Amino acid sequence: MITNPFRKSDLDRRRRSSNIFRKKDDLAKVINFRSRVFIALIVAAFLLIAVRLVQIQLVKQDEYAIKLEAFTMKRQAFAPPRGDIKDRNGVLLASSKKSLSIFYYPPENISAKEEWALAEKFLDNFGMSLTKTNSRGVQSLAITERQLKDMHYQHEYQLHGNNFNDLLTEEELTAANKGKLATDDAYALKIERMDISQLDEHTKQLYLTYMLMNQAPENEFKIIKEDVENDQIAKLLENHGEYPGFEYRDDWKRVYYEDDNPVVKSIIGSVSDQTQGLPSENMEYYLGLGYAMNQRIGISGIEKQYEEFLSGTTKDYDISYGSDGLANLEENNAGKSGYDLTLSIDVNLMKEADKLLREAVQSRTADAQYFNNMYMTVLDVNTGEVLATAGLQKNKDGELESIPSGTYLNAERVGSTVKMATLYMGLEEGVIQPGEVIVDQPLTFQGTPKFASYQTWGAITDRAAIAVSSNVYMAEIALRMAGMKSYVPNMAMPYVDGTFEKMRTYYNMFGLGVETGLDVPTESVGAIGGSEEHGKIMAMAIGQYDTYTSMQLAQYGATIANGGKRVQPHFLNQVTEVNDPETVIYKMGTNILSTLKGTHVEEYLKRAQEGMRGCIEGVDGKAGICPADVKDAAVGVKMAVKTGTAENDIYADGDVQITTSNSIVAYGPYEEPEIVVSCIAPNYTNNTNNLGSNVCGPPVGKISKYYFENKK
């Protein structure tokens, strides 16, 4: 029943009228007024509808036609060949090689039985491999055990009606029929209990073929075979009518020149294959950019970092069905190949660095069972260009593998190489003065072990403290930061809240303990020491507490060498048009992330720099302690060097093992710095009574010499 919309107002008016029982309403007048109101509303509504229809059908006809077409049209994107990746001298590291692929798009209204028969026929004539090889040459199964079970279920159910209910108990089957056991849970039980051990190779290949023909998403082409030989393409063309839905197209495969340049593998990264497609964590982002779900994409290293440059513009096709039920493709966008990248690295320098690290690791045989890694980085101190990174890691068979990415992914304690930052902090905070003499002697505090340098140096200056690597001098700086006025043997350990944070702030200024800004998908910032016991500030002051990467150590060294500018390290030099190196699309410039702040930056850095040079030629009456290997990189090239030693406790062989690590940071030429070299050798010995010489010495000295003798 329709309610009177004026009922409330009528009742209100009647209640307010004192003449309600004597005055009769003019019924005809009321009806006429209300009719006019309704008619006016209806006319206004029809006018609005008419205006909107005119707007849609005439004014914006083309716009809505495009929207309708976009909504109903099926579209397929094909990835163009990716751009090349080269080193700074033009050495090819990765490229895209032309190939041929067979793909499948389901004919309209094809049944499951017809598709199984089509898969069988394709397999019999073209064959399928149960293994696949990724872009890195690593083989894996093309179909997993779980996928085989899923395909076995589909095959038996779709062709024979077998739903495998015999794999459920009577109780489970009853619960499933009553809806008490969810369909997905019942299916999971069947898959778990299914025995496929009797499947022969042909059946597995059939299941693989059918799986690829039906992989998600439904409205995209399915790649069935990649890198197909010409004779198979000819066979497909000659018998095209027998394989409805199967086509071939020009394709590409990613090629890495590993045989020539194995040292760059983890830096360059890799791309997904077409069965992997887009990574799930970034799928929505890339779909929004117009990628297809099965499109190959950079998934690690430089391939991932510079996906936008390397991938190019996709080739798009509109898909429609013809009268024969087969898909027709009409090119919508021709696409464009990806841009070429020129990196900052010198592959020959990287090979040399890798070789030198191998020699260093292999030279340690006694008490070196935990010496499984070693890292070295070479940076341009002024531009931040990464000239070389080298990393080694022993695999489970004890063989050394190249992992240059370990220079920015793996962090270790670096020992005394941090002492220049500690010295700068002490000078800037005013707890020591330039040239101040402190007596290097063992320190004792209540409740803490004795703290000393590896040798008692007596009275030394700030510069000499760097040259001879005085632990006591650096501890004195930290203790004064913590409020100590003067040292008295066996005194209570001083501490002021916030000391750790303030010290880390200074180390961060140089690049230690923060992201370097390196252009990679991820990098480690290291780890903060686990306990902030007051005595740990002394350990922190000599690099025995927090952990840092080789890349951070190199950025730190560059900041010292170039006068206090923390320059962003980078692998990319420039992006150029495909096969046209003269047309530069993007050039990576020098990016200064921060500069040291203070009133005496140049003066205080000079003290640290002179201390590093003193490590080689001595300073303030103290002879340097640097290894002979790094004293001079090449004829006429002076180096500034700081060595480091750190103690670690690692868990291995069922117990905690005490090991020692070595490190070095060096730059040169001393007067006009060009490069900085950092090296970390974690756990190089587990005999703390026989440390020997710094294992980083030979590779750092030799790589510096190699650079200066071969630079272009």
Q: What is the Cβ-side half-sphere exposure of residue 655, based on CA atoms within 13 angstroms?
A: 3
The answer to whether the beta carbons of residues 94 and 303 sit under 8 Å apart is: yes
Structure tokens at 484: 């100590």
Average pLDDT of span 226-230: 91
Residue 246 has pLDDT above 80, yes or no: yes
DSSP alpha helices (H): ranges in 127-229?
Answer: 145-160, 170-177, 183-193, 201-213
Q: Pick from 451, 503, 499: which is nearest to 472 by CA?
A: 451
Question: Percent of the chain beyond pLDDT 90?
Answer: 66
Question: Percent of the chain beyond pLDDT 70?
Answer: 91
Interhelix angle 499-510/471-481, rounded to 10 degrees, is: 120
634 pLDDT tier (thresholds 50, 70, 90): low
Q: Is the dihedral of CA 355, 356, 357, 362 positive or negative?
A: positive
Residue 67 has pLDDT above 80, yes or no: no
Q: Is the dihedral of CA 489, 491, 497, 500 positive or negative?
A: positive
30 pLDDT tier (thresholds 50, 70, 90): low
CATH class of 73-98+252-343: alpha beta
Instruction: Report in angstroms the alpha-carbon separations of 52 from 40, 49, 465.
Output: 18, 5, 84
Q: What's the confidence (pLDDT) of residue 416?
A: 97
DSSP assignment letter at 488: -
Cβ contacts of residue 395 below 8 Å, gap of 6+? Answer: 401
633 pLDDT tier (thresholds 50, 70, 90): low
- Cα separation, 391 vs 358, in Å, equals 9
Q: Pick from 598, 591, 549: which is nearest to 572 by CA?
A: 591
For strands 458-460 and 438-440, give the pairing.
antiparallel
What is the secondary structure of 178-191 as a DSSP string? TTSS-HHHHHHHHH
Helix (H, G, I), strand (E, B) or coil at 290: coil
Structure tokens at 57: 């059908």
Instruction: Report in angstroms the alpha-carbon separations of 510 from 351, 418, 439, 471.
Output: 29, 10, 28, 20
Q: What's the confidence (pLDDT) of residue 529?
A: 84
Structure tokens at 657: 């093992």
23 pLDDT tier (thresholds 50, 70, 90): very low
Q: What is the Cβ-side half-sphere exposure of residue 531, based on CA atoms within 13 angstroms?
A: 6
What does pLDDT average to over the chain?
89
3-state SS record for 407-433 = HHHCEECCHHHHHHHHHHHHHHHCCCC
Comparing 67-71, 105-109, 287-291, 434-438, the range with the smallest average pLDDT is 67-71
Q: Is 167 exposed, middle or buried (0-12, 13-18, 19+ CB in 10 A)?
A: middle
Comparing 16-25, 463-472, 583-592, 617-626, the range with the smallest average pLDDT is 16-25
Q: What's the confidence (pLDDT) of residue 65?
A: 61
- Cα separation, 289 vs 452, in Å, equals 60
Q: Pick from 485, 484, 486, 487: which is nearest to 444 by CA?
A: 487
- Cα separation, 214 vs 116, in Å, equals 11
Q: Please give the angle made by the CA atoms of 644, 648 and 652, to the nearest 5 degrees.
A: 140
Give tens-digit pLDDT for 541-586.
Answer: 999 999 999 999 999 999 999 999 999 999 999 999 998 999 999 9
22 pLDDT tier (thresholds 50, 70, 90): very low
Give tens-digit pLDDT for 194-204.
Answer: 999 999 999 99
Buried b or exposed e, range 5-38, using 16+ CB within 10 angstroms? eeeeeeeeeeeeeeeeeeeeeeeeeeeeeeeeee
First-to-last C-alpha distance (Å) of the chain = 94
Give tens-digit pLDDT for 294-330.
Answer: 888 999 999 999 999 999 988 877 777 787 878 777 7
- Cα separation, 116 vs 209, in Å, equals 9
* Phi and psi torsions of 347, nearest 5°: -60, -40
What's at 350, amino acid-wise? M
Give tens-digit pLDDT for 483-533.
Answer: 999 999 999 999 889 999 999 999 999 999 999 999 999 999 999 987 778
The answer to whether the beta carbons of residues 469 and 541 sit under 8 Å apart is: no
How many Cβ atoms sit within 10 Å of the Cβ of residue 53? 10
3-state SS record for 661-693 = EEEEEEEECCCCCCEEEEEEEEEEECCCCCCCC
Q: What's the confidence (pLDDT) of residue 21?
A: 44
Please report the beta strands in 295-351, taking only residues with DSSP state E, as ranges in sequence order. Answer: 315-321, 327-333, 340-343
Q: Pick from 395, 396, 397, 361: which is nearest to 376 by CA?
A: 361
- Cα separation, 370 vs 67, in Å, equals 64
Does the model's pTM come out above 0.85? no
Query: Which H or E element spans position 9?
Result: helix 7-16
73-98+252-343 and 347-710, same CATH topology: no
Please report the beta strands in 458-603, taking only residues with DSSP state E, as ranges in sequence order. Answer: 458-460, 548-549, 565-567, 572-577, 580-587, 592-595
- Cα separation, 85 vs 89, in Å, equals 11
The answer to whether the beta carbons of residues 345 and 94 sit under 8 Å apart is: no
Give tens-digit pLDDT for 647-670.
Answer: 988 888 888 888 999 999 999 999
Q: What's the confidence (pLDDT) of residue 15?
A: 57
Query: Which of the pair, 148 or 278, is modelled with greater confidence?
Result: 148
Comparing 10-19, 125-134, 203-212, 598-607, the range with the smallest average pLDDT is 10-19
Prior bond to 279 cis, omega within 30? no
Buried b or exposed e, range 351-379, using 16+ CB within 10 angstroms? bbbbbbbbebbeebeebbebbbbbbbbbb
- Cα separation, 486 vs 607, in Å, equals 23
Residue 218 has pLDDT above 90, yes or no: no
Could you tell me which CATH number the domain at 347-710 has? 3.40.710.10
Cβ contacts of residue 46 below 8 Å, gap of 6+? Answer: none
- Cα separation, 227 vs 251, in Å, equals 8
What's at 527, amino acid-wise? A
Q: Pick from 577, 578, 558, 576: which is nearest to 568 by CA?
A: 558
Residue 14 has pLDDT above 70, yes or no: no
How many Cβ atoms sit within 10 Å of the Cβ of residue 75? 16
Query: Domain spans of the chain?
Result: 7-59, 73-98+252-343, 109-213, 347-710
| Proportion of the chain in helix, strand, coil states, percent, rounded to 5 | 40, 25, 40
How many Cβ atoms sit within 10 Å of the Cβ of residue 380? 20
Residue 604 has pLDDT above 50, yes or no: yes
Q: Please give the angle made by the CA atoms of 412, 418 and 420, to the nearest 5 degrees.
A: 165
Residue 689 has pLDDT above 90, yes or no: no
Q: What's the confidence (pLDDT) of residue 443?
A: 96
Residue 220 has pLDDT above 80, yes or no: no
Residue 535 has pLDDT above 70, yes or no: yes
Q: What's the confidence (pLDDT) of residue 267?
A: 95
Average pLDDT of span 396-411: 94
